[in-house]
Structure 1
Amino acid sequence: MRIRGGHRKAISLPYSKLPCLIIRRLRMFGQFGRRKEWMHRRSKALVFLAAGLLALAGPAGRPRAADPQPYELSIRPTGDDGLDAALAAGSQLQSLQSKNSAGPFALIARARADVPRLETVLRSLGYYDGRVSIRIDGRALDDGDLLDVLDALPADRTAGIEIGVRQGERYRLGRVAIEGPVPPDIPAKLDLAPARPAIAADVLAARQTLLSALREDGYALARIAPPAAVQNTAEKTIDVTFKIEPGERLSIGGIAIEGTRDVNPDFVRRRLSLQTGDLYQPSRIEAARTDLASLGVFSGVAARTGDEPDAEGALPLAFDVQERPKHAVDLTAAYSTDLGGIPKVSWTDRNLFGNAEQLNLSAAATGLGGSASDGLGYNLASQLIKPDFMRRDQSLQFDLGAVKQNLDAYDQDAVSAGTSLRRKLTAQWNVNFGLSTEIEQILQQDVRRRYKLIDLPLGLAYDDTGATNPLMDPTHGGRAALSVTPTESFGRDNATFLTLQASGSLYIDLADAGLAPKGRSVIAFRGLLGSVQGATRFQLPPDRRFYGGGSGTVRGFKYQSVGPLFADGSPQGGTAIDSASVEFRQRLFEDFGAAAFVDAGQVSAESLPFHGVMRTGVGGGVRYYTGIGTLRLDVAVPLNRPPAGDGFELYIGLGQAF
């Protein structure tokens, strides 16, 4: 644009190429101006070069011209903490002070380069009349004797450098306009109002917002030129114009699946939530990409579109996938003073029949020491998951298991089998129902009983934490689960009963309140309610009763020790439970953290929560964050332990307690 009356002129928007830092080149006005500036710079460079050579070749009194010159930098405060921080970040004198040594000649050059850099910082934050001055050892940069003064400094003398800033009046946005054949719903999405401070990053972010909105409306090839800015020096405003070329509104054309080897491409295509002919929308493409990645058979999934429409006027789309190794073996272990050591080995086939069917086999040893364990045991499990059974987002699961455990509460030998159907309702909600059976033999208080049980479990679950596997460390959101399980028990005393259980956890990131960096300080809450209806405590098989204590409920009390007890102090179990936990998690340094917690809970024989003796435990621990999960070590002590209880409990495991 033309300069009008000396008050309005077209300007280059600072940060237009590097929105988050400093633009490195300033636009010059006119070809003659550029050539004149180049000649001026060349002359100054020759002068400095000659001065430097003379200094190096001078008499013995001038031997330090090329030696590093230490300096102490100060930036005069402006009264605006944000501006002060931006100036410090944009200064080479600041960033190179302790990294790159410089002789007097190079130090002056470094200071000279800082002037336009810092003035660009000022303009990027709306201070278009701002000026920067730099003095070295009290002398201005254009002082002809500055090089001699620095050259004569003693070797142990530190030069003082001061950066002074006169920011002037802050410019504000004036007219904000959009030019071009703009769809009617797009201007309302421009979050850039007149009278706001003329901050370059905000203007450039608004351009990206407009571009994203256009593409989300199907204008896949939309273009927006860099914002044109006009400075009005009289009114201290910046007028901004966005020139838009939306192009044609496009739909998705042919969809290609590339990179499959063992996975059936037709299965991947059926899994896609997009179809040819759908409106082009980046959000839906990203959702489809994320969904394919969640299958567990791919280590990477990338989506790419064509550069131009095909013959039908649609935009081609391709998904590039990389398959994970088909088989995996995992070795894990946990230890607690109540349950002892629990080593576990797992084997997984991620793609059993070519359609992402997953077969999981695991074996764990139990009872390796521990105050709540009376002998060695095992836990064997197999699981087959068939995804997209009969419809998308619905999986069929088969389970077989065998368990042997010798606990203070009871000794158990059992085998179980079951099937369940799980349906994903939304990104956060899913529901499941199934049928399972169990045959077990249990010894409690020297009485051995045999049970046959049939369950019809029904569950509803919610999760918006964003954690994609149980070992991830949730820092925000929450989880909730509700289960209703009718059970028929066949044994010496037949029983029909209903088990109701609700649990939840909530994670609050203190960054949301501005109290800590994101993800570093988290308060986690956990709650559990459970009740059995239709049967008394001793009509229930011992393993179907509620027990408290241990890492899942009240830490500091050994496993199953919270609740009614027999005369010898061993656990009876109950028909109702309630427990709650609060834990503060603080990340320290890069890979370490700490935690402090309070747990409380009670178990009763009255089928109603909030009855019984409340037990409370407190403790803390350390965390080590690894690529596969958080390694946890906690120590907890009971505040009101029973006479036969332990004085403390130690827990070591992979993943947070909840």
Structure 2
Amino acid sequence: MSSYLKQLIALVWMLGSVMVLAEELPSASRWDLSLKPYKYDLQGDLVRAIDDYRTAVNQTGIQPSRDRQLRAETDRLRQLLDSRGYYQAQITPAFDDDRDKPRYRIVLGNRFRIAAIELQGEPLPEDDRWQSLEVGDPLSAAQVLAQQARLRARLLAQNCFYQLDVRHEVVLNDDTQSADITFLISASMPSTFGDVEFEGADSVNDEFLSRVTGLRKDRCYQRADIDSAVISLFDTGLFQQVRPTFARDSQGRVPVTFNLVTRKSRTVNASLGWKSEQGFGVGAGWQHRNLFSRAQSLSLQSQVQAEEQSLSAQIVIPSFFDRRNRLTWRNELQHQSAVAPEYVRYQSTATLERKASNDDYFEYGIGYDQVHQVTDDGWELYQQLRFPARYRFDSVTDPFNPTDGWRWSARVEPVFDIRRDFSPFFNVGTGIQLFLSLDDSLTLASRARTDALVIGGALDSTLANVPASELFNAGGSSSIRGYPYQSIRSGRFDSDGVELGGVTRTLLINELRLQFNESWGAVAFFDAGQVGPTIDLTGGNEWFRGYGGGIRYYTRFAPIRLDVAFPLDARESDDRFQIYVSLGQAF
């Protein structure tokens, strides 16, 4: 056997022995690291830094010596502490033979603070809106980088430079435990937009696409405008892929070409499902996404449940006279008998939505309602003219599984009773949703909402002008869990002894959402709310509370949720618990 072959066999044997004998490094815990003064969040970040190192080592299958492990983990702790401004922290590593694990004792010392912030270079920002850091703030690498990015974004928004570089320098002063920060600005090649072209979308009108992007030749070049144009093109619903290409030419212009891959213009869908509150049902629909080569869409949809059926047709016209506008005309015929009294309702509403910014939206419109409602004498007819108006703010990034951000909305809708001397009433409401990420896997979600019907007084209207379908109810998967669907009402009864809905409703919903991995999670929740026969600001209406928990299975589209809820203020007719199954989070 040749010496080369012998050496190869020996090397393979040695590597195999290491792989077999190597033991995985155990995960770290808070007990392995003492911090003085104690800071809970910082301790958790330090533990995760150690865990990240051990996970990487375990993947190699090689076990380092104790000294090497202590040095490597101490270096990582030092890097993290430096990034938080604890440059004078003292780290004492030791190996606990009894637990066969390293232990670290850390004395933080004084945290460095910002003593000065200076800008050098050109151009300088026009105002102070770029600044998020202040003199005296604790020094943090992440916040310095965020400030650098914010300064760059502000400069890009105020100027037309094709190239803009923003860097930073930090000078530490150990004697005063402080830092001087200098942001260095370098810009070149002022530019304007050139021609805007589209490839791969022959079925769509180029003039319409140009209006959608908002890009105009000879206008100040800003990279953010191209990103906004990509989002606007996706929002039309016509494209499954949008790729911009651009480069500055010798004349200082930046021509932009959008390479587009279109979706199928027509789709058919069908569904068979089960709603925990209404049982099994079927649905079918058809959609055309590009009726007249300008992304106008027509959608037809039908749903059939045991106690509720609906048929709808909707036309959407994007970029209606302006790229920020969207006109929607919706018609729906609905029959429901789940909540007394039974009714048939036809609605036709045209709404104009205007996107004022990335987070702000305004909606206003006009609508006509016709409601046939069952009474002792047969069917009673209501005809209404409506003028809905709404504002909403939405900073949530994932609408189906939000983990951070917040939403707020307010609406007012004057409604005129055509058959009863045009007597008006107002349907008003406001609500807020908050999402707070406590860590990578834990989210606190809260929702508060109140709605009211303003009737009588100077309006010269009464409850006789309001059909039962307009009144408020609660209970079920989307309001107060633990109580049957729409079973919480006002306590006011009609002549047949049927309890009616209320003119006010308040909902308070809280959830703690824990995600175990990419596929599974759990939720604990507490709901409360009230439905009242009058607007009562003293809190005299009866409140109902429910609590429970559930599991979530996360799909690519949205989580599937299964909740079990228990009523805290159960009535004689209420079951001991309710089960809810649906798609998407509760809010």
Q: Same fold (TM over 0.5)?
A: yes
Structure 2 equivalent of residue 46 of structure 1 = none
1:149-204 Cα deviation digits (max 9, x unpaired): xxxxxxxxxx999999999999999999987x633449997999999999988887
Q: Which amino acid aligns with 2:283?
A: K
Deviation at 1:333, TM superposition (A): 6.2
Between the aligned partners of 1:166 and 1:650, the Cα distance in structure 2 is 51
Q: Which amino acid aligns with 1:99?
A: Q
Structure 1 equivalent of residue 548 of structure 2 = 620
Contact 2:195/2:256 (CA < 8 Å) preserved in 1?
A: yes
Q: Which amino acid aligns with 2:163?
A: L
Task: Between the two structures, name the one with larger relative contact order (CA 8 Å, sep ≥ 6).
Answer: 1
> Do structure 1's residue 344 and structure 2's residue 286 form an aligned pair?
no
Between the aligned partners of 2:154 and 2:562, the Cα distance in structure 1 is 47
> Do structure 1's residue 365 and structure 2's residue 304 form an aligned pair?
yes
> Do structure 1's residue 579 and structure 2's residue 494 form an aligned pair?
no
Structure 2 equivalent of residue 458 of structure 1 = 388
Between the aligned partners of 1:271 and 1:601, the Cα distance in structure 2 is 44
Structure 1 residues 99, 345: CA separation in 2 closer, same or farther (over 3 Å shift)? same
Structure 2 equivalent of residue 183 of structure 1 = 123
Between the aligned partners of 1:274 and 1:616, the Cα distance in structure 2 is 53
Structure 1 equivalent of residue 314 of structure 2 = 383
Q: Which moved more, 1:388-397 or 1:70-79?
A: 70-79
Contact 1:364/1:380 (CA < 8 Å) preserved in 2?
A: yes
Correspondences of 1:168-247 after superposition (within 5 Å): 182-185=122-125, 215-216=156-157, 217-222=159-164, 245-247=186-188
> Do structure 1's residue 406 and structure 2's residue 337 form an aligned pair?
yes
Task: Give the match's secondary structure for 1:432.
Answer: strand
Contact 1:72/1:160 (CA < 8 Å) preserved in 2?
A: no
Deviation at 1:97, TM superposition (A): 4.4
Larger radius of gyration: 1
2:251 to 312, 333, 350: 312
Deviation at 1:324, TM superposition (A): 2.6
Contact 1:531/1:609 (CA < 8 Å) preserved in 2?
A: no
Contact 2:70/2:102 (CA < 8 Å) preserved in 1?
A: no
Q: Which moved more, 1:191-200 or 1:619-628?
A: 191-200
Task: Give the match's secondary structure for 2:251.
Answer: coil
Q: Which amino acid aligns with 1:410?
A: P
Q: Which amino acid aligns with 1:549?
A: G
Deviation at 1:483, TM superposition (A): 2.5
Task: Give the match's secondary structure for 2:122.
Answer: coil
Structure 2 equivalent of residue 151 of structure 1 = none
Structure 1 residues 599, 163: CA separation in 2 closer, same or farther (over 3 Å shift)? closer
Structure 1 residues 191, 537: CA separation in 2 closer, same or farther (over 3 Å shift)? closer
Count of paired positions: 554
Between the aligned partners of 2:557 and 2:468, the Cα distance in structure 1 is 36
Q: Which moved more, 1:535-544 or 1:231-240?
A: 231-240
The runs of 5 or more residues in structure 1 that have no matched partner are 1-49, 58-62, 139-158, 368-375
CA RMSD of aligned residues (A): 5.1
Structure 2 equivalent of residue 251 of structure 1 = 192
Structure 1 equivalent of residue 447 of structure 2 = 525
1:442-493 Cα deviation digits (max 9, x unpaired): 223x431241513222211212233575x45464212313131322243xx7
Contact 2:271/2:282 (CA < 8 Å) preserved in 1?
A: yes
Contact 2:233/2:242 (CA < 8 Å) preserved in 1?
A: yes
Deviation at 1:624, TM superposition (A): 2.5
1:596 to 525, 533, 538: 525
Task: Give the match's secondary structure for 1:596.
Answer: strand
Structure 2 equivalent of residue 290 of structure 1 = 231
Structure 2 equivalent of residue 396 of structure 1 = 327
2:475 to 526, 549, 566: 549
Structure 1 equivalent of residue 425 of structure 2 = 498
Between the aligned partners of 1:223 and 1:286, the Cα distance in structure 2 is 19
Correspondences of 1:418-567 after superposition (within 5 Å): 418-426=349-357, 427-438=359-370, 440-444=371-375, 446-466=376-396, 471-473=400-402, 475-490=404-419, 496-509=423-436, 511=437, 516-518=438-440, 520-533=442-455, 534-561=460-487, 562-563=489-490, 564-566=492-494
Deviation at 1:433, TM superposition (A): 1.4
Contact 2:24/2:58 (CA < 8 Å) preserved in 1?
A: no
The runs of 5 or more residues in structure 2 that have no matched partner are 37-41
Correspondences of 1:73-152 after superposition (within 5 Å): 88=50, 94-95=54-55, 97-102=57-62, 125=82
Structure 1 equivalent of residue 294 of structure 2 = 355
Structure 1 residues 448, 164: CA separation in 2 closer, same or farther (over 3 Å shift)? closer
Structure 2 equivalent of residue 149 of structure 1 = none
Task: Give the match's secondary structure for 1:246.
Answer: strand
Q: Which amino acid aligns with 1:324?
A: R
Between the aligned partners of 1:198 and 1:572, the Cα distance in structure 2 is 60
Task: Give the match's secondary structure for 1:220.
Answer: strand
Structure 1 residues 242, 527: CA separation in 2 closer, same or farther (over 3 Å shift)? closer
Deviation at 1:131, TM superposition (A): 13
1:581-601 Cα deviation digits (max 9, x unpaired): 222231230232213122221
Q: Which has the higher strand share?
A: 2
Deviation at 1:354, TM superposition (A): 1.7
Contact 1:485/1:498 (CA < 8 Å) preserved in 2?
A: yes
Task: Give the match's secondary structure for 1:248.
Answer: strand
Task: Give the match's secondary structure for 2:60.
Answer: coil
Q: Which amino acid aligns with 1:597?
A: F
Q: Which amino acid aligns with 1:528?
A: T
Structure 2 equivalent of residue 144 of structure 1 = none
Task: Give the match's secondary structure for 2:160.
Answer: coil
Between the aligned partners of 1:128 and 1:599, the Cα distance in structure 2 is 48
- TM value normalised by structure 2: 0.75
Task: Give the match's secondary structure for 1:288.
Answer: helix
Q: Which amino acid aligns with 1:70?
A: A
Contact 1:115/1:132 (CA < 8 Å) preserved in 2?
A: no
Structure 1 residues 532, 256: CA separation in 2 closer, same or farther (over 3 Å shift)? same
Structure 1 residues 348, 519: CA separation in 2 closer, same or farther (over 3 Å shift)? farther
1:534-573 Cα deviation digits (max 9, x unpaired): 4433453332333343344433333343222357653333
Between the aligned partners of 2:507 and 2:256, the Cα distance in structure 1 is 49
Q: Which amino acid aligns with 2:348?
A: A
Task: Give the match's secondary structure for 2:230.
Answer: helix
Q: Which amino acid aligns with 1:435?
A: G
Contact 1:637/1:649 (CA < 8 Å) preserved in 2?
A: yes
Deviation at 1:364, TM superposition (A): 0.8
Between the aligned partners of 1:596 and 1:255, the Cα distance in structure 2 is 51
Contact 1:615/1:639 (CA < 8 Å) preserved in 2?
A: no
- TM value normalised by structure 1: 0.68
Contact 2:214/2:323 (CA < 8 Å) preserved in 1?
A: no
Task: Give the match's secondary structure for 1:547.
Answer: coil
Task: Give the match's secondary structure for 1:296.
Answer: coil
Deviation at 1:432, TM superposition (A): 1.1
1:49-105 Cα deviation digits (max 9, x unpaired): x9x979969xxxxx97972153687999796978966974786xx4554333459xx
Structure 1 equivalent of residue 39 of structure 2 = none
Deviation at 1:298, TM superposition (A): 2.3
Q: Which amino acid aligns with 1:67?
A: S
Task: Give the match's secondary structure for 1:252.
Answer: strand
Task: Give the match's secondary structure for 2:163.
Answer: coil
> Do structure 1's residue 650 and structure 2's residue 579 form an aligned pair?
yes
Contact 1:395/1:423 (CA < 8 Å) preserved in 2?
A: yes
Q: Which amino acid aligns with 2:363?
A: V
Structure 2 equivalent of residue 67 of structure 1 = 17
